[in-house]
Amino acid sequence: MDFEHSERARLVMDQVERFVHERVVPNEPTYRDQLQHTDEWRKWRIPPVLEELKAEARGLGLWNLFLPDEQYGAGLDNREYAPIAEITGRSFLAPEVFNCSAPDTGNAEVLVKYGSEDQKRKWLTPLLAGEIRSGFAMTEPGVASSDATNMEATCEVVDDEVVINGLKWWTSGAGDPRCRFLIFMGVTDPDAARHGRHSMVIVPMDAPGVTIVRMVPVLGHLGEPHGHAEIRFEDVRLPLDHFIAGPGRGFEIAQGRLGPGRIHHCMRAIGAAERALERLCERAVARVAFGKPLANLGGNRDIIADCRMAIDQARLLTLKAAWALDTVGTFGALVDISAIKVVAPNVLQRVVDAAIQIHGGEGMADPELNYLMGMARALRLADGPDEVHRAMVARLELEKYLKR
């Protein structure tokens, strides 16, 4: 295993770190000020400072860093991009500033790998230019969606069209006024083999029959200006060229999409945990109770040490997963990818919880710590709940014994 950063990665890391430190973090309050806090998601607008920062980052070449294909992105592999994702995880704004935020990243990867030339021209090009955004509509309220074979919404071939029906929810980013298309996953052939029934289809947001029912709150917050939408699809009719790679290939595409996306999520979670630990330590040395800094009271030093050790372990495990993905591919890296998907969000949750605790009542009102807690909690479900990933690790561990 080689975790040495390449020269190219180190160069980009330095530039990204400087930009996040000097331009992104100082502009977080401006972004918050410019954001109109309204539950009426149709009124959501993008804070102008975001587009200004995007233009600056793009001008410096700090753009689409997640894409390993040099034709489309920075040409960094997972090992090289992982530490950059960690840096961007320190700011809620940074991933989008570098055009590296989910779910666009996963959707772009799908289009690069499986999209037709026409699909790339129409959807990938503006996505990679940061002009539009996108969503991924898989989860359904009616079925246990942690098992993706349960998905019941349909995308059937009728003559020369694909006809889409069903109800989806948790489609992240669909409330963003710039969201122009969704990648929809549904059943095309219910009689096919279990992993050959589903397809992925590009659905323009303005296609007749697509209705956003509401934005689903995360711990009471709608997450403006992006949101997580519940969407009804009613007889949405599209030409057959809206299938990605053709009917029945949904699972094959989903497998390819999830490996890198999980590394990105986990490294961002580690960056976020570093930020939370920083906040914890700053508070621990600055505030005094019972005649001592909080750091010197009770078990607070142990808490700090445990957080540091947990973050460093999570980082090493995630880098190992990135290395495995680069060297043996998704199927060879299944255990590592599932393992980090459990470890990193739980570490983030634990560190943020400790940071909130040391801030006392103020911790419950701190926008940054609140955001990080929501992020940690949601990540334990999004892209598969902890339990599903534990089940994967256990299955592959036991296979060694059952094969004997």
Ligand X SMILES: Cc1cc2nc3c(=O)[nH]c(=O)nc-3n(C[C@H](O)[C@H](O)[C@H](O)COP(=O)(O)OP(=O)(O)OC[C@H]3O[C@@H](n4cnc5c(N)ncnc54)[C@H](O)[C@@H]3O)c2cc1C
Q: Which residues are near ligand X by CB under 6 A?
A: 103, 136-139, 144-146, 170-172, 218, 228, 378, 381-385, 387-388, 391
Query: At what angle are helices 250-286 and 78-88 packed, to 10 degrees?
Result: 40
* Two tokens, residue 2: 């080689």
Which residue lies nearer to ligand X by CB, 76 or 218? 218
Which is closer to ligand X, CB of 83 or CB of 260?
Answer: 260
Nearer to ligand X, 230 or 326 (CB): 230
Helix (H/G/I), strand (E/B), else coil: 171: strand
Nearer to ligand X, 196 or 385 (CB): 385
Q: Which two tokens stand for residue 160?
A: 């020369």
**β-bridge pairing 228-239 and 210-215:** antiparallel
What minimum distance in Å lies between the beta carbon of 377 and ligand X?
8
Query: Nearest distance from residue 378's CB to ligand X, in Å?
Result: 3
Cβ(268)–Cβ(85) under 8 Å? Answer: yes
Query: In angstroms, what is the minimal distance from the CB of 387 to ligand X?
Result: 3
For the chain, give the number of residues: 404
What percent of the chain is helix, strand and coil (3-state, nearest 5)?
55, 15, 30
Instruction: Kindly give the interhelix angle for 334-358 and 386-402, rounded to the nearest 10 degrees.
Output: 140
Q: What angle do CA 219, 307, 355 make, to 5 degrees?
A: 45
Task: Give me the least distance between CB of 203 and ligand X, in Å please.
Answer: 13
Nearer to ligand X, 115 or 227 (CB): 227
In eight-state DSSP terms, residue 21 is I
Min. distance of Cβ 132 from ligand X in angstroms?
A: 16
- CB nearer to ligand X: pick between 341 and 359: 341
Which bin fits 170, alpha (ψ -120 to 50), beta or left (φ > 0)? left
**Residue 130 DSSP class:** T
Q: How far is the CB of 368 from ligand X (least distance, A)?
A: 18
> Cβ(358)–Cβ(280) under 8 Å?
yes
Tokens at 244, concatenated: 């990605």
Nearer to ligand X, 230 or 383 (CB): 383
Smallest distance from ligand X to CB 106, Å: 9
